Amino acid sequence: MMAPGIIYGGASNFDGVFTQKQRDVFSSSTVPKGHLGSLFAPASSSNFLGSSSMVSFRGVNGGKRSFFDSFDQDDNEADELGEYFHQAEKKRRLTDNQVQFLEKSFGEENKLEPERKVQLAKELGLQPRQIAIWFQNRRARWKTKQLEKDYDELRNRYDTLKSNYNNLLKEKEDLRTEVFHLTDKLFVKEKGNGQLSLCEENKHSDALAKETVADPISRVEMSNVPALVVKHQQEDLSSAKSDVFDSESPRYTGRVHSSVIDQGDSARIFETEQSDLSQDDDENFSKTMLSTANLLGKAADDDYPATSSNLSYFGYPVEDQGFGFWTY
């Protein structure tokens, strides 16, 4: 893109747009300095503040904003024009007071109605166009800041969610270990005193407890478990519950039944978890969060019927979890 058409000197019959190079040539050699100096005196003695001395010829050749846009018609007064041409010099920053005033106005309303623009311009001794540009740039800065803020907030939420997710994984792992040990105890009881437990048979009790093989049922089937237990699993599980588990501690029967022995959702939890443990990238994290959270919500209902039927462990409505993790 070519450089903006800012002209030192603002010759009134100029009808084009100068690039920086052209301007440099113009100011340094083409036009005698004395001539320019007499036309565009410094603004030091004027109350015409800011960069109003800059003349834009944007749009003269087809652009929609003509040079006279700077005056917004109602400001297009002859004396102001004359003053304008006598103030031409380099780009200037607004004074602190002007900026303060504009900031205050921006704080009240970041959009600029035409009346307010003219009013501000008069009060600050600037061109309405300068006011409009200042507001435009100010909105751009505000938007950038806002984006940074939003990003930080999202990042924090994401980190928190990920942390919760990891905690849940750990908790599930602990629970699975507990389930395994309790199941093992049951086998010992089934076999009677003096018989080997599953752990002992496999000679890897501790290691097994920490393995990531997900489904205890699969583990049971893979082991040389007593036929009675396998039969119970393959038959009606509710009767298995009454035949085997009800004779034991109620605390464990309930938990084992609903969280582990039940087929369907609970089994899928473990399937999901197995794959979870082998992946760690953020994308998969998000996906597995969604599926796991939904399943956990369902499992929680099974375990704790008194809880709301549509809340997951995160306390979010399950139906909102489609992609609702990121909503405010």
Query: Which residues sit at the interface with DNA, rule CB under 7 A?
Result: 1-6, 17, 19-20, 23, 50-52, 54-59, 63-65, 90-94, 99, 111-112, 114, 129-130, 132-137, 139-141, 143
Burial class (CB in 10 A: 0-12, 13-18, 19+), 235: exposed
Phi, psi (deg, nearest 5) at residue 65: -100, 105
Q: Which is nearer to DNA, 102 or 168 (CB)?
A: 102
Report, in Å, the least distance between residue 34 CB and DNA.
Answer: 21
- Nearest 10 degrees: Cα torsion 211, 214, 216, 222: -80
Q: Which is nearer to DNA, 102 or 293 (CB)?
A: 102
Q: Which is nearer to DNA, 95 or 160 (CB)?
A: 95
Report, in Å, the least distance between residue 74 CB and DNA.
Answer: 11
Q: Cα separation of 137 and 41, whole Å?
A: 28
Q: Which is nearer to DNA, 122 or 143 (CB)?
A: 143
Q: Which is nearer to DNA, 3 or 277 (CB)?
A: 3
Cβ atoms within 10 Å, residue 104: 9
Q: Cα separation of 180 and 172, whole Å?
A: 12
Q: Cα separation of 112 and 199, whole Å?
A: 77
Strands (E), the chain: 6-7, 55-56
Give, for 192, the enclosing helix (H) or strand (E): none
Q: What are 172's two structure tokens?
A: 């599930």
Angle formed at CA 293 by CA 174 and CA 241, multiple of 5 degrees:
55
Q: Which is nearer to DNA, 128 or 297 (CB)?
A: 128
Q: Which is nearer to DNA, 88 or 217 (CB)?
A: 88
Report, in Å, the least distance between residue 92 CB and DNA.
Answer: 6
Report, in Å, the least distance between residue 44 CB and DNA.
Answer: 13
| Cβ–Cβ < 8 Å for 296, 313 | yes
Q: What are 109's two structure tokens?
A: 């309303």
**Burial letters for 188-214: b for 16+ Cβ neighbours within 10 Å, e otherwise?**
beebeeeeebbbeebeeeeebbeeeeb
Report, in Å, the least distance between residue 37 CB and DNA.
Answer: 16
| Cβ–Cβ < 8 Å for 52, 87 | yes
Give, for 70, the enclosing helix (H) or strand (E): none
Q: Which is nearer to DNA, 129 or 172 (CB)?
A: 129
CA distance between the termini of the chain:
40
